[in-house]
């Protein structure tokens, strides 16, 4: 028999347009209880992605205890952090300069709040949206692995090796760890309890020996906010099952809390005739499993189906052919971003420079994914979330145009910028029409 390594990734995120009352509910119902689950189960391991925008929001709204709690778990080795894009932009849908800017700002923000506990080795692309263009920016920031949706896997399903995703240049590849979409969705939709899940892991290789691994990943808000008490009814119960092995109590008494996977393995035993299950981080999986071959994962997201892939629609909830609102939203964003770049190029000192900097800062947040998700009608639809995203983009356009008009741009550039503002207004009106009548 062998060892089954279970790596759980928890994705903490709230959009920059989230209202304070919803944030409060999520903190009380999910974030604080999750931290308590890990405090109660010191053998438990997980990988955590928290987007920098949420870290800032927690600080600004007085939830420093959540930041401190996650930092303490990371400092003693129970969780590892993963990198991401600060404002949860859909990275394959923006250009590489914007990709790098989002990743860099996430690094700077989380390093500021978590200090030495912030040591990400891996990367969580928002919504697990992947294509080959994001590999180089991710590698630029020192990440060793990237988690992708299972639907992205183009080869035999990996349980005993870790594939490498091929980059644009020879040797520029990255470990690709694939989420088990089926098991992750069973957890997210309450289709399995903690005990049943761990038993399933023990039995996953009935005809084979040797070690294997499973990666599950979902929104942290699944536990307690989306599903009441799911932090206890699933996660705590699963960790209880993982820990129910001989010698575990002895290990806790004789060794420091921050145990390596190797030390845990040495002091645990499997139930007779069954594989043992260990809770680990994604980095543990990458370290312990043999290296697989180079592959080219499919462009996709964790909401993409095989039917979507066959139809050539890798990101259906954020840019779907035939979705008129998506078309308008991206046209408006393209104008706002173009105006921002022009504003930075021609900004003069004083008011022009100030408005250019405001436009640039607002543009980062205006790329957040939720405005498109709520416009997808699959089945998500929320007029106010769409409108708040549009308002962010409009604020970008106003500040960028003021910077251009007050700056050093020649008259033809100013005139072209004004025409773009007029076009943006027309698109805004069309979006409003969709929200009024559709």
Query: Residue 422 to residues 69, 186, 335, 356, 358: CA-CA distances in angstroms?
Result: 48, 48, 10, 19, 20
- Report pLDDT digits (tens) over 340-365: 999 999 999 999 999 999 999 999 99
Q: Token pair for residue 164?
A: 């490498």
- Report pLDDT digits (tens) over 387-422: 999 999 999 999 999 999 999 999 999 999 999 999
Q: Could you tell me the residue ranges of all domains in the chain?
A: 3-308, 324-437
- Least-confidence region, from 124-138, 160-174, 202-216, 282-296: 202-216
According to CATH, the topology of domain 3-308 is 7-stranded beta/alpha barrel (3.20.110)
pLDDT, average across residues 76-86: 98
pLDDT, average across residues 236-245: 81
Q: How many CA atoms lie within 13 A of 273 on its CB side?
A: 0
Distance between CA 140 and CA 134 in Å, rounded? 10
CA-based R_g, the chain, Å: 23
pLDDT grade for 245, boundaries at 50, 70 and 90: very low
Say whether pLDDT at 25 is over 50: yes
Q: Token pair for residue 337?
A: 């971003």
Q: Contact 11/218 with Cβ under 8 angstroms?
A: yes
What is the per-residue pLDDT for 253? 37
Distance between CA 51 and CA 107 in Å, rounded? 9
What is the per-residue pLDDT for 208? 64
Say whether pLDDT at 243 is over 70: no
Residue entry with tokens 């405090």: 39
- Report pLDDT digits (tens) over 158-175: 999 999 999 988 889 999
> Among residues of the chain, what percentage have pLDDT more than 90?
89
pLDDT, average across residues 48-64: 98
How many beta carbons lie within 10 A of that of residue 23, not counting itself? 18
What is the per-residue pLDDT for 264? 55
What is the per-residue pLDDT for 205? 75
Higher-pLDDT residue of 237 and 271 is 237
Q: Which CATH number is correct for 324-437, 1.20.120, 1.10.287, 1.10.20, 1.10.10?
A: 1.20.120
- Report pLDDT digits (tens) over 366-376: 999 999 999 99
- Report pLDDT digits (tens) over 87-144: 999 999 999 999 999 999 999 999 999 999 999 999 999 999 999 999 999 999 999 9
Q: What is the average pLDDT value for the chain, to the nearest integer?
A: 93
What is the per-residue pLDDT for 252? 38
Distance between CA 27 and CA 19 in Å, rounded? 13
């Amino acid at each position: 028999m062998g060892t089954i390594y279970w790596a759980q990734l928890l994705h903490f995120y709230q959009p920059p347009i989230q209202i304070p009352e919803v944030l409060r509910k999520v903190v009380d119902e999910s974030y604080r209880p999750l931290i308590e689950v890990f405090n109660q189960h010191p053998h438990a391991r997980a990988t955590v992605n928290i987007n920098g925008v949420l870290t800032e929001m927690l600080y600004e709204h007085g939830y420093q205890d959540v930041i401190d709690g996650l930092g303490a778990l990371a400092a003693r080795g129970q969780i590892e952090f993963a990198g991401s894009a600060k404002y949860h932009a859909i990275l394959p849908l923006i250009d590489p300069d914007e990709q790098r800017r989002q990743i860099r700002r996430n690094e700077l923000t989380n390093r500021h709040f978590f200090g030495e506990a912030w040591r990400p080795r891996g990367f969580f692309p928002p919504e697990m949206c992947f294509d080959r263009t994001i590999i180089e920016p991710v590698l630029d920031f020192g990440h060793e692995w990237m988690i992708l949706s299972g639907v992205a896997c183009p080869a035999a399903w990996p349980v005993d090796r870790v594939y490498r995703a091929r980059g644009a240049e020879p040797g520029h590849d990255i470990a690709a760890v694939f989420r088990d979409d089926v098991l992750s969705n069973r957890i997210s939709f309450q289709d399995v309890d903690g005990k049943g899940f761990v038993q399933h892991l023990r039995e996953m290789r009935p005809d084979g020996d040797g070690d294997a691994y499973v990666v599950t990943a979902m929104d942290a808000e699944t536990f307690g906010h989306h599903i009441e008490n799911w932090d206890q009814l699933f996660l705590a119960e699963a960790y209880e099952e993982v820990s129910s092995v001989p010698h575990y109590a002895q290990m806790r008494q004789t060794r420091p809390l921050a145990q390596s996977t190797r030390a845990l393995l040495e002091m645990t035993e499997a139930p007779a005739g069954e594989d043992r299950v260990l809770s680990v981080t994604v980095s543990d999986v990458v370290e312990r499993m043999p290296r697989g071959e180079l592959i080219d994962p499919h462009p996709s997201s964790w909401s993409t189906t095989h039917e979507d892939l066959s139809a050539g629609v890798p990101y259906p909830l954020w840019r779907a052919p035939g979705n008129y609102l998506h078309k308008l939203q991206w046209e408006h964003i393209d104008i706002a971003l173009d105006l921002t770049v022009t504003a930075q190029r021609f900004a003069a000192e004083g008011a022009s420079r100030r408005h250019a900097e405001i436009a640039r800062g607002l543009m980062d947040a205006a790329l957040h994914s939720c405005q498109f998700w709520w416009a997808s009608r699959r089945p998500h639809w929320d007029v106010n979330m769409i409108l708040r995203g549009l308002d962010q983009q409009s604020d970008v356009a106003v500040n960028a145009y003021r910077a251009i008009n007050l700056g050093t741009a020649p008259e033809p550039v100013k005139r072209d910028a004004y025409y773009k503002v007029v076009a943006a207004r027309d698109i805004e009106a069309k979006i409003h029409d969709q929200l009024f009548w559709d």
